[in-house]
Amino acid sequence: MLFSEIPGLVEIKNHLINSVKTNHVAHALLFDGEAGSASLPMALAFATYINCQNPSETDACGLCPTCQKINKIAHPDFLFAYPTAGGKKVLSENFIKEWRLFLQNNPFGTLSDWLEEIDIKQGNIPVEESRQIIQNLSLKSYEGGYKIVLIWMAEAMGQSAANALLKVLEEPPEKTIFLLVTTNINRLLTTIISRTQRVAIRNVNSEELTEYLVKSKNITEERSKQIYFLSEGNISKAFEIIDQNDQNEKTWFANWMRYCYAFDLGKLVPLADEFDTLTKESQRGLLDYGLKIIREIYLQTVGAENLIKLENEELQFVQKFSKVFKFENIGQISDLISEGQMLIERNVRSKITFLDISLNIARLIK
């Protein structure tokens, strides 16, 4: 994780970077933000920056061996503790594969996302975990740099786990940095809080989220503002809304094509009514999505499967429909959808436009 992969929060990033530049990194930091905020990614980006062999003024390089090992969660001096379950002997390292996947796919994820990933209902950090950390810290650093211990959801430590950790926080070994991440500071021992330097992670503001979504997710400014409004600047929630939307578009488009294929007017007319009730932005989104899938169907038809970027259900859909669409029709279908988009932009009644596209596609596929 790099700082640049986190939306906004420049003042927090600068504060952390400056502490490295001026050699004032606290030996224990407490990243405190609500569930779904940037606290965990921020701690990861900071750990990367501290150990990077070639950092810039604003970020780790992302390319040196250390950055790459940290990014793959395979750095021997970067230790993790996070909630797990399954008995005293089950520690974080037993879940390291799942943890890597989680950080790769969902670094802004919440505790419930994580528990879902490892299929348990309630997780905790047992005292054995603290003991394991202390034992690991007694060994020499493998690569000569800092040893970093990241404890995610520090509030999941029970009393004895917290007390065991406290001892090592009070007398930290040299060149060791603790990064604690919490979503509920009130559940931490005050003695732990007083041993750490708090880094408050706020939610992002509208400008920060918009800039990020426009640049990294190719989402329009208008839609980004709407996502901000719905997510209240919680990054995980914002991503969820985007996924949900993609899911809706996927289902919607698949149904549309099925009804066209079956020439089912009993379904196409109500679908046109539904389309009519959507905002112009959503209508545009659906047709854009349709064009994207048609392009992939084209690639599949001409044997350029290696260029297809889709996965799972969408890929299956494309494979199935590439058998239905005649090669010579794909361009026409794509033109029909583009023309429809133009008409809708010019405020031609969407219901009629949509029905018209549907019937033309149905005739072509027949």
Summarize as ranges the residues that interact with Zn ion (CB under 5 A).
52, 60-61, 64, 67
Secondary element (H or E) of residue 28: strand 28-32
Residue 35 or 60: the one with the smaller Cβ distance to Zn ion is 60
Contact criterion met (CB below 8 Å) for 128 and 91: yes
DSSP state of 242: H
Asked if 98 and 118 touch (Cβ cutoff 8 Å), the reply is: yes
Closest separation in Å from C-beta 168 to Zn ion: 28
* Residue 69 beta carbon to Zn ion: minimum distance, rounded to whole angstroms: 10
CA 1 to CA 45: how far, in whole Å?
5
Q: Which is nearer to Zn ion, 61 or 193 (CB)?
A: 61
Angle between helix 10-21 and 39-51 (nearest 10)? 30
Strand pairing category for 176-182 and 197-200: unpaired
Provide the minimum distance between the beta carbon of 223 and Zn ion in the complex, in angstroms, as a whole number: 34
Q: Minimum distance between the CB of residue 143 and Zn ion, rounded to whole angstroms?
A: 13
Give CA–CA dist 237/243, Å, rounded: 10
Q: How many whole angstroms separate alpha carbon 162 and alpha carbon 154?
A: 8
* Cβ distance to Zn ion smaller for residue 67 or 181: 67
Longest Cα separation, the chain: 77
Min dist CB 67 to Zn ion, Å, is 3
Q: Minimum distance from CB of 65 to Zn ion (Å)?
A: 8
Q: Which is nearer to Zn ion, 63 or 200 (CB)?
A: 63
Question: Residue 61 or 310: which CB sits closer to Zn ion?
Answer: 61
Residue 114: alpha-carbon gap to chain centroid: 12
When the beta carbons of 51 and 234 are compared against Zn ion, the nearer one is: 51
Question: For Zn ion, which is the closer residue by CB, 45 or 149?
Answer: 45
Asked if residues 43 and 33 have their Cβ atoms less than 8 Å apart, the reply is no
Of 244, 309, 313, 317, give the one whose Cα is nearest residue 282.
244
Residue 55: CB minimum distance to Zn ion, A: 6
